[in-house]
Amino acid sequence: MFENASVKAIIYDPNSGTTQITREIRRIERDILRMGALVEQSFRLSHQALFTRDLKAAEELPRIDKQIDHFYKQIESDCAAIMTMQAPVAQDLRCLSAFMQLVRDLERIGDYAKDLAEIAVKIFPYPPHPSLPDIAMMSHHAQAMLATSLVALADLDEVGGRSIKQLDDAVDSAYEHLYQTLAYQRDVPGVVEPILLLVLVIRHLERMADHATNIGQRVAYIVTGQRH
């Protein structure tokens, strides 16, 4: 078992050596954080589109999603190249394998944000549903989880990474409550499409929160080498 400090030194300690693999891992982590900032932006824009009925925000999502996908493919490729060509030692390999899983989680959150923006366009013609404020709160919780996971990555903070699981419980509870409210609504006036769309919204938000939790768990694995 490697000491936590030695794992952090791989990325942060300027005195830990200036090998090519050390520099490349640092660069990859910076790219992941840039990708994470784009994912946060896409999540915020999808929130605006849904809850403030800002369709201009929805129009920005495809452009940002292309940037996210570019980062995802590049980071995966860079990690694979180091793993296959440079014979990384165990702790480097742990970082790289976790990075490859982590960017997949980020990419999926970005995809869900784009889906939420598309739902915002479809639901726009309908009157606001009474459950929207509660769904907006669920979205805020999920966004906070993403932000917390990225801070944990930047700081290589095991405790911060694991703490996200507790935040996820609030999102899961909100999902269960809102699903019951929407699925068993009686005397629905007019068409049921907006209710079906809102059920999709809460499902997407629940999955986004799950991926944020995964990121936190992967950060903890980078630091400790232990999966929970």
Residue 102 near residue 218, CB atoms below 8 Å? yes
**Share of residues in the chain with pLDDT > 70 (%):** 91
Q: At what angle do helices 4-11 and 20-51 cross, to 10 degrees?
A: 90
Instruction: Give the model's confidence band at 88: pLDDT under 50 very low, under 70 low, under 90 confident, else very high.
Output: confident
Task: Indicate whether this model's pTM tops 0.85.
Answer: yes
Give the model confidence (pLDDT) of 63-82 as tens digits: 999 999 999 999 999 999 99
Give the model confidence (pLDDT) of 2-51 as tens digits: 334 334 434 444 444 457 888 899 899 999 999 999 999 999 999 999 99
| Chosen CATH of 4-224 out of 3.40.50.2300, 2.30.38.10, 1.20.58.220, 3.30.70.20 | 1.20.58.220
Q: What angle do CA 74, 209, 48 make, to 5 degrees?
A: 85
pLDDT of 113: 98
Query: Looking at the predicted structure, is the pLDDT value of residue 101 above 70?
Result: yes
Mean pLDDT of 192-210: 96
Residue spans per domain, the chain: 4-224
Query: Looking at the predicted structure, is the pLDDT value of residue 89 above 90?
Result: no
| One-character DSSP codes across the chain | ---HHHHHHHHS-TTS---HHHHHHHHHHHHHHHHHHHHHHHHHHHHHHHHS--HHHHHHHHHHHHHHHHHHHHHHHHHHHHHHHS---HHHHHHHHHHHHHHHHHHHHHHHHHHHHHHHHHHTTSPPPTTHHHHHHHHHHHHHHHHHHHHHHHHT-HHHHHHHHHHHHHHHHHHHHHHHHHHT--S--S-SHHHHHHHHHHHHHHHHHHHHHHHHHHHHHHHHS---
Mean pLDDT of 201-222: 96
Output the average pLDDT for the chain.
Answer: 89
Give the model confidence (pLDDT) of 144-188 as tens digits: 999 999 999 999 999 999 999 989 999 999 999 999 999 887 776
